[in-house]
Structure 1
Amino acid sequence: MQSENPQPPVSKTLAPFRNKVFRSIWTATQISSLGWLVQTVAISWLMATISASDLMVALVQAASTLPVFFLSVFAGAIADNFSRRWVMFAGHCLIASASMTLMISVGLGFVSPWLILGLGFLAGCGFALNDPAWHASVGDILHKRDIPAAVTLMSVGYNIVRSVGPALGGVILAVFGPLAAFALAAVSDLAPISAIWRTKWEVRSSPLPHERMTTAIHDGVRFTAMSLEIRAATARAALFGLASISILALLPLVVRDQLKSGPIVYGILLAGFGMGAFIAGMGNGFLRKVTSQNRLVAFASVACAVCCLSLALTSSVPVAAISLALGGAGWLITWTGIDVSVQLASPRWVVGRTLSIYYALSAGGMAAGSWIWGSVAQNYSLTSALEGAAGALLLVAAAGIVLPVRPWEETDQESSVFHPPDVALDLKPRSGPIVAKVEYLISEENIEAFLGYMRTRRHVQSRAGARNWTLQRNLQTPSLWTETFRTPTWMDFLRLNHRLTAADKEVGQHLLSLHEGEVPPQTVLSIERTTEAIRTRTSTIFSRPPR
């Protein structure tokens, strides 16, 4: 539901709050996040209390992130094919169910390390379902120019809550016990459920039927793999998640073993982490003006490395708090920069899937990192684990040379209008394979430019669904070039053309300017046919005239 009012060319940080839907869901999400953070403090400290295993403590983080790794891609396909609003609603219902079950279990005195991990996993399933749909919905609710500000506000909002929630959780845990913390979390989960139920927003729907889940997932993975910008950002996120999660995964052990403190100090230190992220979020716009996005993300990784190294060497609570504020700043800048880069590089038809793949690999990195650094702490020492994580973060910063994060640039990623061509056969959605051919007349002096645009066109068409793309030059008439590609079915051909954005079709305009024929290049469509005998039921595809 994008506003039609004129907007400034560059969105300010608070501009998305002008939209009532975004403001309502954002506020409800922060309430839910507050409860979740209070619950996280209680869960982590409860696990450290009932289990002597350092690995089990570190796995608390992994339990809620593993479902994102395993289920996000599936959830992204759902978000791109069905109502994102209802997908978000279902995700928050799962989170609320996990919180309520944990509250009841603790109230009845039935609690164990594996129960804690299991319910954390269930809540993670809810996050896996909600997060791609919510982040993809930002582009539906707001103008594209507001997406960077909206993503920053979402991160800043969470980290504002992070600066309060852990400290509040520590106080509640120390004064009232874990049951009160879990009860607060269960009640707070109702806020986003209510907000999503009450709000609606318009989404430009495709005129084509829903894709099958397997096809939708395959197409999302193919698009991500063929998009250099998304591939680099996703790889960078996975590496950063693997190294940086050590800060949060090992923090309970730092408080317990190095600082010799309890849950209140643990909450205060998490609040310091959140406060650093909040300050970085407020200054993110200024930082983007003074340096490139890729360099900013590299500096953020270095900040997290300094945080890890400081935690490894200090026994002072104030020093640890300052270090965590620096780590929180690096954490927010990195995730915000990568998240926005993925969103702006993704067309609307696939944004849920690209975001879900990004979340899946990020969560996989964090889950693996929790296990790796927890194992190092248990088998060697806590100091060794933190120092190793600091070294890994420095390597992640250096990875920006080969895995750069794209600048935040606004491009038209909306699908362009496509009118299906008239055909003389009665094609069914599953009819195929379909072969498309486009002929161009190119002079000798324009061949180099033509081939350059064709390389781009091959990339654009292939990631949208074209198969077996080839370019041929006629031997009898060298100026005649033929572009050929296939799609498995007629429906796949229609989807391919509906997926092409205005930015994608600019390549066609460049090719048209090089074409020297009297009429523009025409797309000739045909359907492949075997020489075997055709059954009566399918023969009508080729012989029956259109109705």
Structure 2
Amino acid sequence: MDRSGTGTNREGIRGLLASGDFVRLWSIGGTVNAMRWVEMLAAALFTFEVTGSGMAVAFVSAARTLPLLLFGAVAGVVSDSIDRKHILLAGLLLTACASAAICALGALGVVQPWHIALAAFASGSVWATEMATRRRMVGEAAGPALVSRAVALDSLTGACTRGLGPVIGSVSYAMFGVAGAFAISAVMYLLSACLVPGLNHAQATRKLALSRVPRELAEGLAFARTQPTVLAVLGVTMTMNLFAFSYVALVAPIARGVFEVSAGLAGVLAAAEPLGSLIGGLFLTGAAPKSSPRALMLGGSAAFLAALVAMPLMPGYWLACAVLMAGGIGLALFGNMQTTLILTGAPAHVRSRQMGLITVCIGTGPLGQILIGALAEQFGPLGAVVATAGSGLAVLAVVAALWARAERPPAVFD
């Protein structure tokens, strides 16, 4: 049976790679994800060197993720109305132009952090369409029989690029400066755009009606309020985005200021968590965990937050990398269960809207980045990460208690 299962998995992968449309979309996703992390790391290094301010670094990082909160819900409606292939192509070209502008300003020696923040906001606006355009097209290209494997492979690739991108970003910044790092990303975005015209994509478009968005979101929220599991997933997701993921904005300051390592090694620290997530993702792909989804989600989230508390307090740089990598394994559990609990717990007619609420919760990330930036101004990068992650553990404990209480069977009295 094991050999048969392995053979089936190999046939599935071969079937995906035999699809030209899937390979194009998969390649675009991997490239764009890697370049996004290249730019985020280079932007953080440049901003910290110019300003010496953790708050400034946090604001520049928040500019890229803020559009997820502002435009994520609208993106789903737009992608149902306008050809997703056209949205994908236009987004890649816009992102390439934004990166090229920073490259030009850097080459002229006049680039400022606010220029990078503006370009990041433009790129983040394109990022807000990712789930509704390219990710959906990945599933359609794979077909119903292979959609789960297609999404799994795409997610694993994303974890790989999250590890590779910061390393490329830090090395390219150390060698070529901010202009060189953004030149690399601009070229890669343009090469990705060249893959789009060859896609075979059929879509029935309709008149764009943005007025439907508020009503549909309200209906989805009304359903979520009656479902303890959905509410808990939303609570955990918001907790992680407010108190956990914001640490990324201070990776460069911690690496340079606390552990006193080079810009290149700052990228290695940034890559430690994605490497752990990749290991966790491979584990989840190869074996079905025996624990309950609730335990996996809460346990994985707590493990990652605890790793963030411990990481900047480590006595050495490489030990900090190891702690962060271990926390990344827990983060993989959170990410996997976040989707699984919604897909299995929400009926089909409201499932997309529940995923939309997840996107809105993810979009609260910039608030966490602003919070950690303000704390960094007062207590330094080390104190800011410890304080936010510790607060996240406390909030997560409250969510876990409320979740357990909501799902507790009612008492029976004789």
Q: What SS class does the counterpart of residue 110 from structure 2 fall into?
A: coil
The 1:159–1:216 alpha-carbon spacing in structure 2 relative to 1, beyond 3 Å, is same
Distance 1:169 1:211 in 2: 38
Counterpart check, 1:219 vs 2:187:
no
For 1:359 and 1:217, how far apart are their aligned partners in 2? 15
**How far off is 1:390 after superposition?**
2.7
Cα deviation for residue 128 of structure 1 reads 1.0
Name stretches of at least 5 consecutive residues in structure 2 with no aligned partner: 1-6, 405-414
| Cα separation, 2, equivalents of 1:30 and 1:77 | 25
* Residue type of the alignment partner of 1:30: G
Q: Are 1:66 and 1:124, in contact at CA under 8 Å, matched by a contact in 2?
A: yes
Pairing of 1:236-385 with structure 2 (within 5 A): 236-286=236-286, 288-342=288-342, 354-364=354-364, 366-385=365-384
- State the match for 1:391 in structure 2: 390
**Compared CA separation, residues 195 and 345, structure 1 to 2 (3 A):** farther
Separation (CA, whole Å) in 2 of partners of 1:337 and 1:16: 24
Deviation per CA, 1:491-525, whole angstroms, max 9, x where unpaired?
A: xxxxxxxxxxxxxxxxxxxxxxxxxxxxxxxxxxx
Q: Distance in 1 between matches of 2:198 and 2:346?
A: 28
Give the match's secondary structure for 2:184.
helix
The corresponding residue for 2:132 is: 132
Q: Is the 8 A contact 2:29 2:134 kept in 1?
A: no
CA RMSD of the aligned region, Å? 3.0
8 Å CA contact retained: 2:301, 2:333: no
* Distance in 2 separating the partners of 1:223 and 1:38: 36
Which residue identity is paired with 2:85? R
- In structure 2, the partner of 1:499 is none
- Amino acid in the other structure paired with 1:373: I
Deviation at 1:339, TM superposition (A): 3.4
In the TM superposition, residue 62 of structure 1 has moved relative to its aligned partner by: 0.8
Question: What is the CA–CA distance in structure 2 between the aligned matches of 1:154 and 1:28, rounded to whole Å?
Answer: 10
Q: Which amino acid aligns with 1:384?
A: G
Show CA shifts across 1:340-366 (max 9, x none).
5445667788766554442232121x1
Change (3 A) 1:348 1:121: farther
- Measured in 2, the distance between the counterparts of 1:220 and 1:166 equals 35
Could you tell me how far 1:252 is from its partner in structure 2? 1.5
Q: Which residue of 1 aligns with 2:156?
A: 156
CA distance 1:139–1:353, shift in 2 (3 Å): farther
> 8 Å contact 2:60–2:114 — kept in the other structure?
no
In the TM superposition, 1:93-108 aligns within 5 A as: 93-108=93-108
Q: Amino acid of the residue matched to residue 81 of structure 1?
A: S
Instruction: Tell me the equivalent position of 1:234.
Output: 234
Cα deviations across residues 222-254 of structure 1 (Å, max 9, x unaligned)?
234314355543332122111112331221121
Equivalent position amino acid for 2:211 in 1: T
Number of residue pairs matched by the alignment:
394
Residues 78, 352 of structure 1: alpha-carbon distance in 2 compared, 3 angstrom cutoff: farther
Counterparts of 2:8 and 2:384 in 1: how far apart (Å)? 47
Contact 1:259 1:317 in 2 (8 A): yes
Cα contact 1:58–1:250 (8 A) shared by 2: yes
Residue 396 of structure 1 and its aligned partner are, at CA, apart by: 5.2
Secondary structure of residue in 1 paired with 2:109: coil
Structure 1 residues 230 and 170: CA distance shift in structure 2, 3 A: same
- Amino acid of the structure 1 residue aligned with 2:393: L
1:92 corresponding residue in structure 2 = 92
CA distance in 1, matches of 2:83, 2:20: 19
Deviations 1:378-406 (A, max 9, x none): 113433322223323324543245458xx
User: What does residue range 477-496 of structure 1 map to in structure 2 within 5 Å?
Assistant: none
**Which residue number corresponds to residue 168 of structure 1?**
168
- CA distance 1:353–1:29, change in 2 (3 Å): same
Alignment of 1:363-512 (within 5 A): 363-364=363-364, 366-395=365-394, 397-398=396-397, 399-400=399-400, 402-403=402-403
Q: Secondary structure at the match of 1:116?
A: helix
Cα separation, 2, equivalents of 1:52 and 1:36: 23
Equivalent residue, structure 2, for 1:421: none
Cα gap change, 1:316 to 1:115, in 2 (>3 Å): same
- Structure 1 residues 25-80: Cα deviation after superposition (integer angstroms, max 9, x where no partner): 11222122222222222111000111122101122221101011111111111123
Distance 2:348 2:81 in 1: 11
Change (3 A) 1:278 1:289: same
1:52 aligned onto 2:49: no
Matches of 2:402 and 2:17, distance apart in 1: 37
Deviation at 1:286, TM superposition (A): 4.5
The worse-fitting range, judged by mean Cα deviation, of 332-341 and 24-33 is 332-341
Aligned 8 A contact 1:96 1:190 in 2: yes
Judged with a 3 Å threshold, the aligned counterparts in structure 2 of structure 1 residues 112 and 388 are, in CA distance, closer, same or farther, namely same
Higher helix share: 2
TM-score normalised by L of structure 2:
0.85
* Separation in structure 2 between the aligned mates of residue 347 and residue 94 of structure 1, nearest angstrom: 36
TM-score of the aligned structures, taking structure 1 as reference length? 0.65
Amino acid across the alignment from 2:219: R
The code of the aligned residue for 1:370 comes to Q
Distance in structure 2 (CA, Å) of the matches to 1:107 and 1:347: 53
State the Cα deviation string for residues 471-500 of structure 1 (Å, max 9, x = none).
xxxxxxxxxxxxxxxxxxxxxxxxxxxxxx
Quote the Cα distance in structure 2 between the aligned partners of 1:138 and 1:402. 36
In 1, are the aligned partners of 2:236 and 2:396 still within 8 Å (CA)?
no
CA contact (8 A) 2:25 2:134 kept: no
| Structure 1, unaligned runs of 5 or more | 1-6, 405-547
- Structure whose CA Rg is larger: 1
Partners in 1 of 2:13 and 2:221 — Cα distance? Answer: 29
Instruction: Write the deviation string for residues 325-345 of structure 1: whole angstroms up to 9, x where unpaired.
Output: 123223333223323544566
